Structure 1
Amino acid sequence: MTAITPDALLAELHKAADAVSSLAAKLTEADVPAPSALPGWTRGHVLAHITGISNAMARQLEYAARGETVELYDGGYDGRTKAIEMNAGHALEQHRADLDTALERALRAFDSLAADAGAASGNAAAAGAGSWHAPISYRGGVVLDGGFALWRELVIHASDLNTGRGSETWSRPFCEHLFSFLAARVPEDQKLVLQPLGMPPVTIGTGGRSTVISGMITDIAAWLAGREPSLGSLRASAAADGVDLPELLPWPAGVPAK
Protein backbone atom coordinates (compact mmCIF):
# COMPACT_ATOMS: atom_id res chain seq x y z
CA MET A 1 0.00 0.00 0.00
CA THR A 2 1.26 3.45 -0.92
CA ALA A 3 1.81 5.90 1.93
CA ILE A 4 -0.25 9.10 1.69
CA THR A 5 1.80 12.27 2.04
CA PRO A 6 0.49 15.34 3.88
CA ASP A 7 0.15 17.18 0.55
CA ALA A 8 -1.89 14.33 -0.90
CA LEU A 9 -4.02 14.17 2.23
CA LEU A 10 -4.70 17.90 2.03
CA ALA A 11 -5.91 17.50 -1.55
CA GLU A 12 -8.14 14.60 -0.51
CA LEU A 13 -9.64 16.68 2.31
CA HIS A 14 -10.58 19.40 -0.15
CA LYS A 15 -12.16 16.87 -2.53
CA ALA A 16 -14.10 15.21 0.28
CA ALA A 17 -15.35 18.55 1.62
CA ASP A 18 -16.45 19.59 -1.87
CA ALA A 19 -18.37 16.31 -2.25
CA VAL A 20 -20.19 16.78 1.06
CA SER A 21 -21.09 20.38 0.22
CA SER A 22 -22.34 19.33 -3.22
CA LEU A 23 -24.56 16.63 -1.73
CA ALA A 24 -25.98 19.03 0.87
CA ALA A 25 -26.72 21.57 -1.85
CA LYS A 26 -28.93 19.04 -3.65
CA LEU A 27 -31.05 18.13 -0.62
CA THR A 28 -34.58 19.40 -0.19
CA GLU A 29 -36.25 20.37 3.06
CA ALA A 30 -38.12 17.05 3.05
CA ASP A 31 -34.81 15.17 2.76
CA VAL A 32 -33.50 16.36 6.12
CA PRO A 33 -35.79 14.27 8.41
CA ALA A 34 -35.67 11.27 6.03
CA PRO A 35 -33.65 8.20 7.05
CA SER A 36 -29.92 8.11 6.41
CA ALA A 37 -27.99 4.90 5.86
CA LEU A 38 -27.21 4.80 9.60
CA PRO A 39 -29.75 3.06 11.85
CA GLY A 40 -31.72 5.55 13.94
CA TRP A 41 -30.20 8.60 12.27
CA THR A 42 -31.88 10.96 9.82
CA ARG A 43 -29.94 12.88 7.22
CA GLY A 44 -30.16 15.77 9.66
CA HIS A 45 -28.23 13.73 12.22
CA VAL A 46 -25.50 12.99 9.66
CA LEU A 47 -25.26 16.65 8.62
CA ALA A 48 -25.06 17.73 12.27
CA HIS A 49 -22.33 15.17 12.92
CA ILE A 50 -20.24 16.21 9.91
CA THR A 51 -20.54 19.82 11.06
CA GLY A 52 -19.56 18.82 14.59
CA ILE A 53 -16.50 16.77 13.70
CA SER A 54 -15.29 19.43 11.24
CA ASN A 55 -15.45 22.10 13.95
CA ALA A 56 -13.90 19.72 16.47
CA MET A 57 -10.94 18.90 14.26
CA ALA A 58 -10.46 22.56 13.36
CA ARG A 59 -10.27 23.32 17.07
CA GLN A 60 -7.64 20.61 17.52
CA LEU A 61 -5.43 22.38 14.96
CA GLU A 62 -6.12 25.87 16.28
CA TYR A 63 -4.95 24.83 19.74
CA ALA A 64 -2.01 22.86 18.32
CA ALA A 65 -0.82 26.00 16.51
CA ARG A 66 -0.45 27.60 19.96
CA GLY A 67 1.34 24.58 21.38
CA GLU A 68 -1.74 23.50 23.35
CA THR A 69 -4.16 20.59 23.31
CA VAL A 70 -7.90 20.45 23.94
CA GLU A 71 -10.43 17.63 24.10
CA LEU A 72 -12.04 16.77 20.77
CA TYR A 73 -15.56 17.76 21.80
CA ASP A 74 -16.74 20.10 24.52
CA GLY A 75 -18.19 17.74 27.11
CA GLY A 76 -16.57 14.66 25.56
CA TYR A 77 -18.71 11.91 24.07
CA ASP A 78 -21.83 13.12 25.89
CA GLY A 79 -21.30 16.61 24.51
CA ARG A 80 -20.93 15.22 21.01
CA THR A 81 -24.16 13.21 21.27
CA LYS A 82 -26.19 16.08 22.75
CA ALA A 83 -25.02 18.48 20.04
CA ILE A 84 -26.01 16.06 17.27
CA GLU A 85 -29.46 15.49 18.74
CA MET A 86 -29.99 19.21 19.34
CA ASN A 87 -28.97 20.23 15.81
CA ALA A 88 -30.36 17.33 13.75
CA GLY A 89 -33.78 18.95 13.40
CA HIS A 90 -32.51 22.25 12.01
CA ALA A 91 -33.97 23.56 8.77
CA LEU A 92 -32.02 22.78 5.62
CA GLU A 93 -30.78 26.36 5.22
CA GLN A 94 -29.32 26.28 8.73
CA HIS A 95 -27.67 22.91 8.11
CA ARG A 96 -26.06 24.19 4.93
CA ALA A 97 -24.82 27.38 6.57
CA ASP A 98 -23.39 25.52 9.59
CA LEU A 99 -21.82 22.84 7.41
CA ASP A 100 -20.16 25.29 5.02
CA THR A 101 -18.79 27.35 7.91
CA ALA A 102 -17.40 24.26 9.66
CA LEU A 103 -15.80 22.85 6.51
CA GLU A 104 -14.23 26.20 5.67
CA ARG A 105 -12.86 26.47 9.20
CA ALA A 106 -11.36 22.99 9.08
CA LEU A 107 -9.82 23.40 5.62
CA ARG A 108 -8.41 26.79 6.59
CA ALA A 109 -6.72 25.19 9.61
CA PHE A 110 -5.16 22.43 7.51
CA ASP A 111 -4.20 24.80 4.68
CA SER A 112 -2.31 27.01 7.14
CA LEU A 113 0.00 24.26 8.35
CA ALA A 114 3.68 25.10 8.13
CA ALA A 115 5.96 22.89 6.08
CA ASP A 116 7.09 20.16 8.45
CA ALA A 117 10.79 20.31 7.74
CA GLY A 118 11.66 19.04 11.19
CA ALA A 119 9.67 15.84 10.85
CA ALA A 120 10.95 15.26 7.32
CA SER A 121 14.55 15.51 8.52
CA GLY A 122 13.95 13.37 11.58
CA ASN A 123 14.47 16.32 13.91
CA ALA A 124 11.50 16.04 16.27
CA ALA A 125 12.47 19.23 18.09
CA ALA A 126 12.09 21.21 14.86
CA ALA A 127 8.59 19.87 14.26
CA GLY A 128 6.76 22.48 16.29
CA ALA A 129 3.32 24.00 16.64
CA GLY A 130 1.54 24.55 13.37
CA SER A 131 3.04 21.47 11.73
CA TRP A 132 1.57 18.14 10.66
CA HIS A 133 3.38 16.56 13.61
CA ALA A 134 2.22 18.97 16.32
CA PRO A 135 0.53 17.06 19.19
CA ILE A 136 -3.26 16.99 19.49
CA SER A 137 -5.48 15.27 22.03
CA TYR A 138 -7.30 13.12 19.43
CA ARG A 139 -6.07 9.58 20.12
CA GLY A 140 -3.02 11.10 21.77
CA GLY A 141 -1.68 11.68 18.27
CA VAL A 142 -0.58 14.49 15.99
CA VAL A 143 -2.21 16.78 13.45
CA LEU A 144 -1.64 14.23 10.66
CA ASP A 145 -3.81 11.74 12.57
CA GLY A 146 -6.51 14.38 12.76
CA GLY A 147 -6.30 14.88 9.02
CA PHE A 148 -6.83 11.21 8.35
CA ALA A 149 -9.72 11.16 10.83
CA LEU A 150 -11.49 14.05 9.09
CA TRP A 151 -10.92 12.38 5.71
CA ARG A 152 -12.61 9.23 7.00
CA GLU A 153 -15.51 11.17 8.48
CA LEU A 154 -16.18 13.18 5.33
CA VAL A 155 -15.94 10.32 2.83
CA ILE A 156 -17.87 7.73 4.83
CA HIS A 157 -20.60 10.08 6.02
CA ALA A 158 -21.07 11.42 2.50
CA SER A 159 -22.21 7.89 1.67
CA ASP A 160 -24.25 7.71 4.89
CA LEU A 161 -26.39 10.62 3.64
CA ASN A 162 -28.10 7.99 1.48
CA THR A 163 -28.33 10.11 -1.66
CA GLY A 164 -26.97 7.53 -4.10
CA ARG A 165 -23.26 8.20 -3.53
CA GLY A 166 -22.26 4.85 -2.07
CA SER A 167 -19.00 3.17 -1.18
CA GLU A 168 -18.41 2.34 -4.86
CA THR A 169 -17.18 5.96 -5.16
CA TRP A 170 -14.41 5.49 -2.57
CA SER A 171 -10.92 5.79 -4.05
CA ARG A 172 -8.29 3.08 -3.89
CA PRO A 173 -6.04 5.16 -1.56
CA PHE A 174 -8.98 5.71 0.77
CA CYS A 175 -9.88 2.01 0.83
CA GLU A 176 -6.27 1.05 1.47
CA HIS A 177 -6.16 3.56 4.32
CA LEU A 178 -9.25 1.93 5.83
CA PHE A 179 -7.61 -1.50 5.57
CA SER A 180 -4.80 -0.21 7.80
CA PHE A 181 -6.86 1.86 10.22
CA LEU A 182 -9.62 -0.73 10.67
CA ALA A 183 -7.23 -3.61 11.31
CA ALA A 184 -8.10 -2.78 14.93
CA ARG A 185 -11.53 -4.36 14.30
CA VAL A 186 -10.08 -7.83 13.69
CA PRO A 187 -10.61 -10.09 16.74
CA GLU A 188 -7.44 -11.21 18.51
CA ASP A 189 -7.79 -14.85 17.45
CA GLN A 190 -8.32 -14.08 13.76
CA LYS A 191 -6.38 -13.06 10.69
CA LEU A 192 -8.08 -11.65 7.60
CA VAL A 193 -6.55 -11.96 4.16
CA LEU A 194 -8.16 -9.18 2.15
CA GLN A 195 -8.18 -10.04 -1.55
CA PRO A 196 -9.41 -7.13 -3.67
CA LEU A 197 -10.17 -8.24 -7.22
CA GLY A 198 -7.19 -7.75 -9.51
CA MET A 199 -4.94 -6.51 -6.71
CA PRO A 200 -2.36 -7.95 -4.30
CA PRO A 201 -3.74 -9.37 -1.02
CA VAL A 202 -3.45 -7.49 2.26
CA THR A 203 -3.30 -9.32 5.59
CA ILE A 204 -4.62 -7.71 8.76
CA GLY A 205 -4.77 -9.27 12.21
CA THR A 206 -2.35 -11.76 13.74
CA GLY A 207 -4.58 -14.56 15.04
CA GLY A 208 -4.39 -18.21 14.12
CA ARG A 209 -7.79 -18.46 12.41
CA SER A 210 -7.47 -17.26 8.82
CA THR A 211 -10.34 -16.08 6.61
CA VAL A 212 -10.02 -14.79 3.05
CA ILE A 213 -12.29 -11.85 2.21
CA SER A 214 -12.52 -11.33 -1.55
CA GLY A 215 -14.40 -8.83 -3.68
CA MET A 216 -14.12 -5.31 -5.06
CA ILE A 217 -11.82 -3.16 -2.97
CA THR A 218 -14.69 -0.77 -2.19
CA ASP A 219 -16.92 -3.58 -0.95
CA ILE A 220 -14.19 -4.89 1.36
CA ALA A 221 -13.57 -1.39 2.73
CA ALA A 222 -17.29 -0.77 3.23
CA TRP A 223 -17.68 -4.01 5.16
CA LEU A 224 -14.71 -3.20 7.38
CA ALA A 225 -16.28 0.21 8.03
CA GLY A 226 -19.59 -1.37 9.05
CA ARG A 227 -21.38 -0.23 5.90
CA GLU A 228 -23.36 -2.14 3.30
CA PRO A 229 -21.18 -3.04 0.29
CA SER A 230 -22.51 -1.33 -2.83
CA LEU A 231 -21.49 -3.81 -5.53
CA GLY A 232 -22.41 -7.12 -3.89
CA SER A 233 -19.09 -8.75 -4.65
CA LEU A 234 -18.05 -9.77 -1.15
CA ARG A 235 -17.16 -13.40 -0.40
CA ALA A 236 -15.54 -15.11 2.61
CA SER A 237 -13.71 -18.42 2.60
CA ALA A 238 -11.64 -20.53 4.97
CA ALA A 239 -9.62 -23.55 3.84
CA ALA A 240 -11.15 -23.04 0.36
CA ASP A 241 -14.72 -23.41 1.68
CA GLY A 242 -17.29 -20.62 1.66
CA VAL A 243 -18.05 -19.28 5.14
CA ASP A 244 -20.01 -16.45 6.72
CA LEU A 245 -18.30 -13.11 7.03
CA PRO A 246 -16.64 -12.96 10.46
CA GLU A 247 -17.88 -10.70 13.22
CA LEU A 248 -15.73 -7.63 13.75
CA LEU A 249 -14.89 -5.69 16.89
CA PRO A 250 -16.42 -2.22 17.37
CA TRP A 251 -15.16 0.75 15.37
CA PRO A 252 -12.07 2.18 17.13
CA ALA A 253 -13.74 5.30 18.55
CA GLY A 254 -11.70 8.46 18.99
CA VAL A 255 -13.95 9.71 21.79
CA PRO A 256 -14.37 7.31 24.72
CA ALA A 257 -18.00 6.67 25.65
CA LYS A 258 -18.91 7.26 29.29
Structure 2
Amino acid sequence: MTAITPEKLREELHRAADTVTGIAASLSEQDIKAPSELPGWTRGHVLAHICGIANAMARQLEHAARGEEIELYDGGFEGRTRAIEMAAGHSLAEHRADLASSLERALRAFDSLDAAGWRAPIAYRGGVALDGGLALWRELVIHATDLGTGRGPETWSRPFCEHLFDFLSARVPDGQRFVLQPLGLPDRAIGSGGKSTVISGMLTDIAAWLAGRTPSLGSLRATAAADGVDLPELLPWPAGVPVNN
Protein backbone atom coordinates (compact mmCIF):
# COMPACT_ATOMS: atom_id res chain seq x y z
CA MET A 1 0.00 0.00 0.00
CA THR A 2 1.29 3.43 -0.93
CA ALA A 3 1.22 5.95 1.93
CA ILE A 4 -0.85 9.07 1.36
CA THR A 5 1.46 12.08 1.07
CA PRO A 6 0.43 15.49 2.45
CA GLU A 7 0.17 16.82 -1.11
CA LYS A 8 -2.11 13.97 -2.18
CA LEU A 9 -4.16 14.24 1.02
CA ARG A 10 -4.71 17.95 0.40
CA GLU A 11 -6.10 17.13 -3.06
CA GLU A 12 -8.34 14.40 -1.63
CA LEU A 13 -9.71 16.73 1.04
CA HIS A 14 -10.70 19.30 -1.57
CA ARG A 15 -12.28 16.60 -3.75
CA ALA A 16 -14.24 15.13 -0.85
CA ALA A 17 -15.38 18.58 0.31
CA ASP A 18 -16.61 19.36 -3.22
CA THR A 19 -18.57 16.10 -3.24
CA VAL A 20 -20.32 16.87 0.05
CA THR A 21 -21.03 20.44 -1.05
CA GLY A 22 -22.47 19.17 -4.33
CA ILE A 23 -24.76 16.74 -2.53
CA ALA A 24 -25.98 19.48 -0.17
CA ALA A 25 -26.69 21.71 -3.16
CA SER A 26 -28.98 19.02 -4.61
CA LEU A 27 -31.11 18.56 -1.47
CA SER A 28 -34.51 20.09 -0.75
CA GLU A 29 -35.96 21.17 2.58
CA GLN A 30 -37.79 17.85 2.79
CA ASP A 31 -34.69 15.90 1.86
CA ILE A 32 -32.73 17.10 4.88
CA LYS A 33 -35.51 15.93 7.21
CA ALA A 34 -35.55 12.44 5.67
CA PRO A 35 -33.70 9.50 7.22
CA SER A 36 -30.05 9.04 6.35
CA GLU A 37 -28.25 5.70 6.09
CA LEU A 38 -27.29 6.02 9.78
CA PRO A 39 -29.87 4.62 12.24
CA GLY A 40 -31.71 7.36 14.10
CA TRP A 41 -30.15 10.19 12.10
CA THR A 42 -31.73 12.37 9.45
CA ARG A 43 -29.66 13.88 6.67
CA GLY A 44 -29.68 17.02 8.80
CA HIS A 45 -27.88 15.13 11.55
CA VAL A 46 -25.23 13.94 9.09
CA LEU A 47 -24.69 17.45 7.72
CA ALA A 48 -24.44 18.84 11.26
CA HIS A 49 -21.85 16.19 12.12
CA ILE A 50 -19.81 16.96 9.00
CA CYS A 51 -19.76 20.64 9.98
CA GLY A 52 -18.79 19.70 13.52
CA ILE A 53 -15.84 17.50 12.56
CA ALA A 54 -14.60 20.02 9.99
CA ASN A 55 -14.60 22.80 12.58
CA ALA A 56 -13.05 20.45 15.15
CA MET A 57 -10.14 19.54 12.88
CA ALA A 58 -9.65 23.17 11.92
CA ARG A 59 -9.29 24.16 15.55
CA GLN A 60 -6.85 21.30 16.14
CA LEU A 61 -4.58 22.86 13.50
CA GLU A 62 -5.17 26.45 14.61
CA HIS A 63 -4.04 25.59 18.12
CA ALA A 64 -1.17 23.43 16.87
CA ALA A 65 0.16 26.45 14.94
CA ARG A 66 0.53 28.17 18.33
CA GLY A 67 2.19 25.15 19.90
CA GLU A 68 -0.99 24.26 21.78
CA GLU A 69 -3.19 21.18 21.98
CA ILE A 70 -6.93 21.21 22.59
CA GLU A 71 -9.58 18.49 22.86
CA LEU A 72 -11.28 17.61 19.58
CA TYR A 73 -14.75 18.88 20.54
CA ASP A 74 -15.60 21.61 23.00
CA GLY A 75 -17.24 19.63 25.78
CA GLY A 76 -15.95 16.28 24.55
CA PHE A 77 -18.31 13.57 23.30
CA GLU A 78 -21.29 15.08 25.10
CA GLY A 79 -20.54 18.46 23.54
CA ARG A 80 -20.32 16.85 20.10
CA THR A 81 -23.69 15.14 20.56
CA ARG A 82 -25.39 18.30 21.84
CA ALA A 83 -24.12 20.35 18.91
CA ILE A 84 -25.36 17.80 16.37
CA GLU A 85 -28.83 17.63 17.93
CA MET A 86 -29.08 21.43 18.06
CA ALA A 87 -28.08 21.89 14.42
CA ALA A 88 -29.81 18.88 12.88
CA GLY A 89 -33.13 20.72 12.50
CA HIS A 90 -31.70 23.78 10.77
CA SER A 91 -33.16 24.96 7.51
CA LEU A 92 -31.57 23.99 4.21
CA ALA A 93 -30.09 27.47 3.84
CA GLU A 94 -28.57 27.25 7.33
CA HIS A 95 -27.10 23.82 6.63
CA ARG A 96 -25.55 25.02 3.38
CA ALA A 97 -24.10 28.12 5.03
CA ASP A 98 -22.70 26.12 7.96
CA LEU A 99 -21.21 23.58 5.57
CA ALA A 100 -19.56 26.24 3.40
CA SER A 101 -18.11 28.00 6.45
CA SER A 102 -16.80 24.88 8.21
CA LEU A 103 -15.29 23.28 5.12
CA GLU A 104 -13.65 26.54 4.07
CA ARG A 105 -12.16 26.88 7.56
CA ALA A 106 -10.82 23.31 7.56
CA LEU A 107 -9.43 23.44 4.02
CA ARG A 108 -7.75 26.77 4.72
CA ALA A 109 -6.10 25.26 7.80
CA PHE A 110 -4.77 22.24 5.91
CA ASP A 111 -3.77 24.30 2.85
CA SER A 112 -1.64 26.53 5.07
CA LEU A 113 0.52 23.68 6.40
CA ASP A 114 4.17 23.42 5.41
CA ALA A 115 6.24 20.25 5.83
CA ALA A 116 6.79 20.91 9.53
CA GLY A 117 3.15 21.81 10.03
CA TRP A 118 1.95 18.39 8.91
CA ARG A 119 4.07 16.90 11.71
CA ALA A 120 2.80 19.29 14.41
CA PRO A 121 1.32 17.45 17.42
CA ILE A 122 -2.44 17.60 17.92
CA ALA A 123 -4.64 16.21 20.69
CA TYR A 124 -6.66 13.99 18.32
CA ARG A 125 -5.52 10.41 19.00
CA GLY A 126 -2.23 11.81 20.32
CA GLY A 127 -1.19 12.24 16.69
CA VAL A 128 -0.03 14.93 14.31
CA ALA A 129 -1.75 17.18 11.78
CA LEU A 130 -1.49 14.50 9.09
CA ASP A 131 -3.60 12.18 11.27
CA GLY A 132 -6.20 14.91 11.53
CA GLY A 133 -6.27 15.27 7.76
CA LEU A 134 -6.75 11.55 7.28
CA ALA A 135 -9.58 11.59 9.82
CA LEU A 136 -11.35 14.42 8.01
CA TRP A 137 -10.91 12.58 4.71
CA ARG A 138 -12.58 9.50 6.21
CA GLU A 139 -15.43 11.56 7.64
CA LEU A 140 -16.15 13.40 4.40
CA VAL A 141 -16.05 10.38 2.11
CA ILE A 142 -17.97 7.99 4.33
CA HIS A 143 -20.61 10.51 5.39
CA ALA A 144 -21.18 11.53 1.78
CA THR A 145 -22.35 7.94 1.37
CA ASP A 146 -24.34 8.09 4.63
CA LEU A 147 -26.41 10.96 3.22
CA GLY A 148 -28.17 8.30 1.16
CA THR A 149 -28.46 10.11 -2.14
CA GLY A 150 -27.18 7.27 -4.33
CA ARG A 151 -23.44 7.80 -3.90
CA GLY A 152 -22.55 4.46 -2.37
CA PRO A 153 -19.27 2.82 -1.38
CA GLU A 154 -18.74 1.73 -4.99
CA THR A 155 -17.55 5.32 -5.60
CA TRP A 156 -14.73 5.08 -3.03
CA SER A 157 -11.27 5.27 -4.57
CA ARG A 158 -8.61 2.60 -4.31
CA PRO A 159 -6.32 4.81 -2.16
CA PHE A 160 -9.23 5.51 0.18
CA CYS A 161 -10.19 1.84 0.51
CA GLU A 162 -6.58 0.83 1.14
CA HIS A 163 -6.32 3.54 3.80
CA LEU A 164 -9.42 2.08 5.47
CA PHE A 165 -7.82 -1.38 5.47
CA ASP A 166 -4.96 0.07 7.49
CA PHE A 167 -6.99 2.27 9.84
CA LEU A 168 -9.74 -0.28 10.45
CA SER A 169 -7.39 -3.16 11.17
CA ALA A 170 -8.15 -2.15 14.78
CA ARG A 171 -11.60 -3.73 14.27
CA VAL A 172 -10.14 -7.24 13.90
CA PRO A 173 -10.91 -9.16 17.14
CA ASP A 174 -8.06 -10.50 19.25
CA GLY A 175 -6.87 -13.90 18.11
CA GLN A 176 -8.08 -13.39 14.55
CA ARG A 177 -6.47 -12.54 11.24
CA PHE A 178 -8.35 -11.44 8.13
CA VAL A 179 -6.86 -12.08 4.71
CA LEU A 180 -8.47 -9.51 2.44
CA GLN A 181 -8.63 -10.57 -1.20
CA PRO A 182 -9.95 -7.70 -3.33
CA LEU A 183 -10.72 -8.88 -6.85
CA GLY A 184 -7.78 -8.31 -9.20
CA LEU A 185 -5.58 -6.76 -6.52
CA PRO A 186 -2.94 -8.09 -4.10
CA ASP A 187 -4.03 -9.78 -0.88
CA ARG A 188 -3.75 -7.84 2.37
CA ALA A 189 -3.65 -9.41 5.84
CA ILE A 190 -4.85 -7.47 8.89
CA GLY A 191 -4.81 -8.66 12.48
CA SER A 192 -2.21 -10.95 13.98
CA GLY A 193 -4.17 -13.82 15.51
CA GLY A 194 -3.95 -17.49 14.67
CA LYS A 195 -7.52 -17.91 13.39
CA SER A 196 -7.60 -16.87 9.71
CA THR A 197 -10.64 -15.89 7.68
CA VAL A 198 -10.41 -14.99 4.01
CA ILE A 199 -12.65 -12.10 2.92
CA SER A 200 -12.95 -11.89 -0.85
CA GLY A 201 -14.87 -9.53 -3.11
CA MET A 202 -14.68 -6.16 -4.77
CA LEU A 203 -12.30 -3.70 -3.13
CA THR A 204 -15.09 -1.27 -2.26
CA ASP A 205 -17.31 -3.97 -0.78
CA ILE A 206 -14.56 -5.13 1.56
CA ALA A 207 -13.87 -1.54 2.63
CA ALA A 208 -17.59 -0.83 3.15
CA TRP A 209 -17.97 -3.94 5.35
CA LEU A 210 -14.96 -2.96 7.46
CA ALA A 211 -16.43 0.53 7.82
CA GLY A 212 -19.79 -0.84 8.98
CA ARG A 213 -21.57 0.20 5.81
CA THR A 214 -23.62 -1.88 3.39
CA PRO A 215 -21.55 -3.22 0.48
CA SER A 216 -23.18 -2.01 -2.70
CA LEU A 217 -21.93 -4.57 -5.22
CA GLY A 218 -22.88 -7.74 -3.33
CA SER A 219 -19.58 -9.47 -3.91
CA LEU A 220 -18.42 -10.41 -0.41
CA ARG A 221 -17.57 -13.98 0.55
CA ALA A 222 -15.90 -15.31 3.69
CA THR A 223 -14.06 -18.61 3.92
CA ALA A 224 -12.13 -20.39 6.65
CA ALA A 225 -10.12 -23.54 5.96
CA ALA A 226 -11.63 -23.47 2.43
CA ASP A 227 -15.21 -23.63 3.76
CA GLY A 228 -17.76 -20.87 3.37
CA VAL A 229 -18.54 -19.11 6.65
CA ASP A 230 -20.44 -16.08 7.87
CA LEU A 231 -18.64 -12.75 7.76
CA PRO A 232 -16.81 -12.32 11.08
CA GLU A 233 -18.00 -9.95 13.80
CA LEU A 234 -15.98 -6.75 14.06
CA LEU A 235 -14.85 -4.76 17.06
CA PRO A 236 -16.26 -1.21 17.42
CA TRP A 237 -14.98 1.61 15.22
CA PRO A 238 -11.76 2.94 16.80
CA ALA A 239 -13.10 5.99 18.63
CA GLY A 240 -11.23 9.26 18.49
CA VAL A 241 -13.36 10.93 21.16
CA PRO A 242 -13.63 9.45 24.68
CA VAL A 243 -17.29 8.80 25.55
CA ASN A 244 -16.72 9.70 29.20
CA ASN A 245 -14.81 12.89 29.88
TM-score relative to the length of structure 1: 0.94
Name the residue aligned to 1:70: 70
Equivalent position of 1:54 in the other structure: 54
Of the three residues 201, 207, 210, the one matched with 1:224 is: 210
C-alpha distance in 1, partners of 2:126/2:37? 30
* C-alpha displacement of 1:189: 1.0
Partner SS, residue 118 of structure 2: coil
Q: CA deviation at 1:6?
A: 0.5
**Are residues 1:240 and 2:226 paired?**
yes
The equivalences for 1:1-258 within 5 A come to 1-114=1-114, 116=115, 127=116, 131-258=117-244
Q: 1:60-105: CA deviations, max 9, x gaps?
A: 0000111111110000000000100111011111000001100000
Matched residues in 2 for 1:51 and 1:41: separation? 15
CA distance in 2, matches of 1:252, 1:210: 21
CA distance in 2, matches of 1:12, 1:243: 36
SS in 2 for 1:212: strand
Deviation at 1:43, TM superposition (A): 0.3
Q: Distance in 2 between matches of 1:226 and 1:46?
A: 16
Matches of 2:55 and 2:119, distance apart in 1: 20
Shift of 1:18: 0.3
Distance, in Å, in 2 between the alignment partners of 1:137 and 1:151 is 18
Tell me the SS of whatever aligns to 2:133.
helix
Q: Deviations over 1:192-237 (max 9, x none)?
A: 0000000110000001110000000000000000000010101100
Q: Distance in 2 between matches of 1:233 and 1:92?
A: 36
The amino acid that maps onto 2:112 is S
Task: Name the aligned partner's letter for residue 102 of structure 1.
Answer: S
Report the Cα offset of residue 3 of structure 1. 1.1
Deviation at 1:33, TM superposition (A): 1.0
Distance 2:72 2:4 in 1: 24
3-state SS, counterpart of residue 11 of structure 1: helix
Unaligned 5+ runs, structure 2: none
CA distance in 2, matches of 1:185, 1:11: 28
Equivalent residue, structure 2, for 1:119: none
Q: Distance in 1 between matches of 2:2 and 2:70?
A: 31
Distance in structure 2 (CA, Å) of the matches to 1:24 and 1:253: 26
User: How far apart in 1 are the matches of 2:217 and 2:59?
Assistant: 37
CA distance in 2, matches of 1:233, 1:21: 30
Look up the SS of the partner of 1:175 in the other structure: helix
Shift of 1:27: 0.3
CA distance in 2 between counterparts of 1:40 and 1:165 reads 20
Q: Secondary structure at the match of 1:254?
A: coil
Counterparts of 1:40 and 1:213, CA distance in 2: 29
TM superposition shift of 1:161: 0.1
TM-score by length of 2: 0.99
Q: Is the partner of 1:32 in helix, strand or coil?
A: helix
Q: Which ranges of structure 1 fall in alignment gaps of 5 or more residues?
A: 117-126
Which structure 1 residue ranges, 4+ long, deviate > 3 Å from structure 2? none
Q: Give, as a single letter, the amino acid of the residue that structure 2 aligns with 1:5.
A: T
